[in-house]
Every structure is written in C-alpha cells, then in structure tokens.
Amino acid sequence: MMIKLFVTLTALLALTVAAPAVDDASATILTQENSLEPDGKYAWKFSTSNGIQAEESGQGGQSVQGSASWVGDDGVPIVLTYTADENGYHPQGVHLPTPPPIPDYILRALKYIEAHSQNN
C-alpha cells in the first residue's frame, strides 16, 4: 500500500510541477478508467485536455508499473515510466538526471583490487 501511495503521489507531483500552467486552469479530464479486483490487483489511467496522460497497474502493496507523459514548459514532450517493488522505486525517462561516468583511474583501481584480492 505504501509503495502504491508513494508512486502515485510522486507521479502526480511530477505532473503538477511539469505541466504548463497556462493550460491547467481550463484543463478537463478526457478519459478516466479505474479497476480494483478482490485479490488486490488494480489499474487506473486518465488523460486530460492539456496533454497529460498517466496510467498505473499493479498488485496492491507488492508491485506497480506505470507511466506518465506531459509537455514541459519548453514545449518538449516528457515521458516517465516507473516500476516499484521490494527492490524500490525505479523511474526511467530521458529527462531524468544521470550520474557522471566513472573516471578511468577509479575503474583501473577497481580492476587492480579485484585482480589482487585474497579471495581469488
């Protein structure tokens, strides 16, 4: 339940922050679907007149997968996909920051340590 709540709130927060404010005041819901099964499986999706689309499905309290898309303030479409399960929340999207590459000297040091490890 906490995973679902966290993921849903995260996706909605991202949509609220990133969606163009000009269209938000007059946006309307174009489509909306919700499904909840007795075994805890669920699914929902919606789309709005200002270009926001989102969907999510999963097994309550165990795992979820979903996506959201909108147009950023700069006019560039943004697509976010995510999963969440016992291994955590895993968002993906070209708009998300990525870590810098590991410096070559660190890679060489790790190879040296591995080659000279006493556990070999």
Segment 55-80, tens digit of pLDDT: 999 998 899 999 999 998 898 999 99
Q: How many domains does the chain have?
A: 1
With respect to residue 105, please indicate whether it lies within any of the assigned structural domains.
yes
User: What pLDDT band is residue 120 in, cutting at 50, 70 and 90?
Assistant: low
Domain of 101, in residue numbers = 2-115
Tell me how far CA of residue 99 lies from CA of 16, 76, 96, 102, 103, in angstroms: 25, 22, 10, 9, 12
With respect to residue 120, please indicate whether it lies within any of the assigned structural domains.
no
Interatomic CA distance for residues 103 and 114, integer angstroms: 17
With respect to residue 57, please indicate whether it lies within any of the assigned structural domains.
yes
User: What pLDDT band is residue 2 in, cutting at 50, 70 and 90?
Assistant: very low
pLDDT of residue 5: 44
